[in-house]
A and B are shown apart, each in its own frame.
Chain A
Amino acid sequence: MNRRDAISRVGLILGGTVIGAELFMSGCKSGSTVNTDDLFAKETTAFLNEVGETILPETSTPGAKAANVGGFMAIMVRDCYTADDQKVFKKGLSQLDEASNKKFKKSFMEADAKQRTELLTDLDKEAKEYSTKKKPEDPNHYFSMIKQLTLLGYFTSEVGATKALRYLPVPGKYIGDYPYKKGDRAWALS
């Protein structure tokens, strides 16, 4: 995001929460280090991919699993999150499973697609309610993190940018009055 985009964007995002945007502007101090190796375990990647796929499932275009958002989340949490956020994220993975056990007597991976959707819909509501009430110094909700990373990871991935969105690396010209009809996909940003 260059300066001109940053200037317009601050004005544009005032209307509502922008999911994922704060990742690019956060400047928190990193605290003690948290071991994130376990986020790279095969089972964790599979788990996060299924969570991601439930948030952004395959429709007429590929879903989040096809973009390996599970692997992406592990990298982002390891490199970009503060120690506090890392702890919340790691703990959140078991909290998500606990919520599933409580609701369906099944782990998230054992639950079927419908149950997964139901569970994450509840968690999304919970996270949204929490976020509207939380003070800046309160911890983030783990599901907000998962959802943000899923969206960021998916729409900037090759499948997301080229299949879900329209990818055009060298437009060659600018048309400020370009026809649009419902169903046309958005442009990928780069």
Chain B
Amino acid sequence: MSTNTYDAIVIGSGISGGWAAKELTEKGLKTIMLERGKNIEHIKDYVNANKPSWEFEHRGGRTQKMIEDYPVLKRDYPLNEVNLDYWTNEKESPYTEIKRFDWFRGYHVGGRSLMWGRQSYRWHDTDFEANLKDGIGTDWPIRYKDLHDWYGYAERFAGISGNKDGVPILPDGDFMPPMDMNIVEKDIQKRYKEFYKDARHFIIGRTANITVPHNNRTNCQYRNKCWLGCPFGAYFSTQSATLPAAMATGNLTVRPWSIVTRILYDKDTKKAKGVEIMDAETNKTYEYYAKVVFVNASALNSAWVLMNSATDVWEGGLGSSSGQLGHNLMDHHLGVGAGGRVEGFEDKYTFGRRANGIYIPRYRNLNGEKRDYIRGFGYQGGGSRSGWSRDIAEMNIGGDFKDALSEPGSWGFGMGGFGETLPYHENRAYLDKTKKDKWGLPILAIDAECKDNERKMRIDMMNDAKEMLENAGVKDVKTYTSEPVLGRGIHEMGTARMGRDPKSSVLNGNNQVWDAKNVFVTDGAAMTSAACQNPSLTYMALTARAADFAVKELKKGNI
């Protein structure tokens, strides 16, 4: 056995890659995890995690230099001084925007598991059946029952805190104790319940922050600095959870600076025999061989790897025989919601900075309702007292002004929607062969947009937010909306979708590439529809399920 030969190769080290590595190594497979970027070591490399605000020269803000260097990242909140190193260098790794697409990437060990929002929700059969019922895209090859146990398995290991709310559309999970709502959120919840009864729900967010100690990880300390990397290991990331578990087996090798340039496809066996990588530091190429390959490079880059593979057999790459590779690109559309003032509670405040908020699960187009659009949306939000950055209209400058700003202001409540986008075939990414990245590799062109269904949905997302907050007693409610932009939800999905037929899907119901049965894709690329829930928990469950299947198939000699 050569030193470049393993049982399994995992491409990517983010949420799904970490899970693949953990599951495969725990089942005894010698595995190499290939990560295109640098290593980030748990705790040691979270260099800003314990810095107070005054140790940042610009107090966390953005400089003109940063704005110039990050023309995409600057479009939304991620461009900042405190975790800049976690975001991909856009000059080294450009992409072509046929239409605006905000692609916020993290190229390092852990991927975006280090910066993710951590909201973790199960899907429901309504979601898995949606395409079939609507006659859109293709039908999911699986249903909730296929993932039910795997959701529980993922939740128990990752550590998801949440409340068993009994909301039919949003199945309860195997939760750690929930985080608490604050006094104002509880008051709004009470009024909300009085108004909407069981038709709509206002619940505490379900988040991958542990609320009790778990697997040598310390429970959440309520600093709300998760995206700097947590020295307590209190939120789920590759570094805090899956990587230590995989390393503990003795079966895992991690190779940073390894850009997988293609999967090596063997025409005779109709399987992959390994991958080719380029060392990102030396530009040298190497080959690694294995019996099974898991592709977890995130939706767009997983498609990119497939497009560059087996091109001697299929011009469009491995998985392109379906005509679907790179197509059906989805995200969640957001940037619409409402907020307002909450009267009273001047004698109440909060202690600690909760890295979580409230959630309103989908309620539209259910139980026979038919709006002028299909599917639905949920909301995330929270209540808080304002701080020193508020305006005090009747005050200008001086000692009283300073002392007033040193105290908390009045309470407010704000929330924003996350809407489902449909899998439009024409929303796609493809290789732009006219341009190359720093390593001379072809880059992606992305051509995708929100359409009528999303735009109509956003009208409800805005107006419903106002109406619900007013019905729950919030005052001076004001709405906001924006031009919907794909990518901004940072939930890219669909570019190598699962399906029931090799003619219309890239993957089968076990996340196997139809055209190469020992290649599995279990990140956002696999998603057949987008639902409106944050998707990462579903990637975890899909990955664990596919890894279990892959190892069983290996043992049976089927792959």
Chain A residues proximal to chain B, CB less than 8 Å: 1-21, 23-30, 54-61, 63, 75-76, 79-82, 117, 120-121, 124-125, 147, 151-153, 155-158, 161, 164-165, 167, 169-190
7 A-B pairs (CB sep. < 8 Å): A11-B413, A14-B414, A18-B390, A174-B179, A176-B180, A177-B183, A179-B347
Q: Once bound together, how far apart are the Cα atoms of A179 and B398, in whole Å?
A: 28
Interface centre among B52, B62, B64, B186 (most CB of A within 10 A): B64
Q: Once bound together, how far apart are the Cα atoms of A26 and B61, in whole Å?
A: 10
Given contacts A171-B353, A176-B185, contact A25 B414 (CB under 8 A): no
Interface: B182 (CB within 8 A) = yes
B182 x A177 contact (CB < 8 A): yes
Which listed residue (A58, A155, A175, A181) contacts B180, Cβ 8 A?
Answer: A175
Query: Chain B contacts of A6 at CB under 8 A?
Result: 76-77
Query: Chain A contacts of B60 at CB under 8 A?
Result: 1, 24, 156
- The interface size bin for chain B is 35 or more
A7 x B414 contact (CB < 8 A): yes
Q: Considering the complex, give the chain B residue whose CB is closest to the CB of A152.
A: B59
Chain B residues proximal to chain A, CB less than 8 Å: 50, 52-54, 57-65, 67-68, 74-77, 80, 117, 119, 179-183, 185-186, 221-227, 334-335, 337-341, 346-357, 380-382, 384-391, 393, 396-399, 401-403, 405-408, 412-416, 476, 478-480, 490
Given contact pairs A1-B80, A61-B406, A174-B352, a sample of 8 additional A-B residue pairs in the complex whose CB atoms are under 8 Å apart: A3-B117, A8-B357, A14-B339, A120-B396, A121-B396, A172-B221, A180-B348, A187-B353
CB distance from A87 to the nearest CB of B (A): 14
Query: Chain B contacts of A21 at CB under 8 A?
Result: 389
Query: Chain A contacts of B386 at CB under 8 A?
Result: 12
A174 x B64 contact (CB < 8 A): no
Which listed residue (B67, B335, B348, B413) contacts A179, Cβ 8 A?
Answer: B348
Query: Chain A contacts of B385 at CB under 8 A?
Result: 186
A16 x B391 contact (CB < 8 A): yes
Q: Once bound together, how far apart are the Cα atoms of A177 and B385, in whole Å?
A: 12
Query: Chain B contacts of A63 at CB under 8 A?
Result: 402
Interface centre among B225, B384, B397 (most CB of A within 10 A): B397
Q: Considering the complex, give the chain A residue whose CB is closest to the CB of B388.
A: A155
Given contacts A57-B402, A147-B397, A164-B402, contact A174 B59 (CB under 8 A): no
Q: Once bound together, how far apart are the Cα atoms of A35 and B30, in whole Å?
A: 58
A7 x B349 contact (CB < 8 A): no
A185 x B406 contact (CB < 8 A): yes
CB distance from B224 to the nearest CB of A (A): 8
B74 x A15 contact (CB < 8 A): no
Q: Once bound together, how far apart are the Cα atoms of A58 and B63, in whole Å?
A: 30
CB distance from A164 to the nearest CB of B (A): 4
A183 x B397 contact (CB < 8 A): no
Q: Once bound together, how far apart are the Cα atoms of A120 and B395, in whole Å?
A: 12
Q: Once bound together, how far apart are the Cα atoms of A121 and B57, in whole Å?
A: 29
CB distance from B513 to the nearest CB of A (A): 32
A174 x B222 contact (CB < 8 A): yes
A4 x B389 contact (CB < 8 A): no
Q: Once bound together, how far apart are the Cα atoms of A151 and B357, in whole Å?
A: 27
Which listed residue (B64, B223, B356) contacts A171, Cβ 8 A?
Answer: B223
A177 x B348 contact (CB < 8 A): yes
Q: Considering the complex, give the chain A residue whose CB is closest to the CB of B418.
A: A7
A57 x B398 contact (CB < 8 A): yes
Query: Chain B contacts of A58 at CB under 8 A?
Result: 399
Which listed residue (A12, A17, A28, A29) contacts B414, Cβ 8 A?
Answer: A12
A180 x B408 contact (CB < 8 A): yes
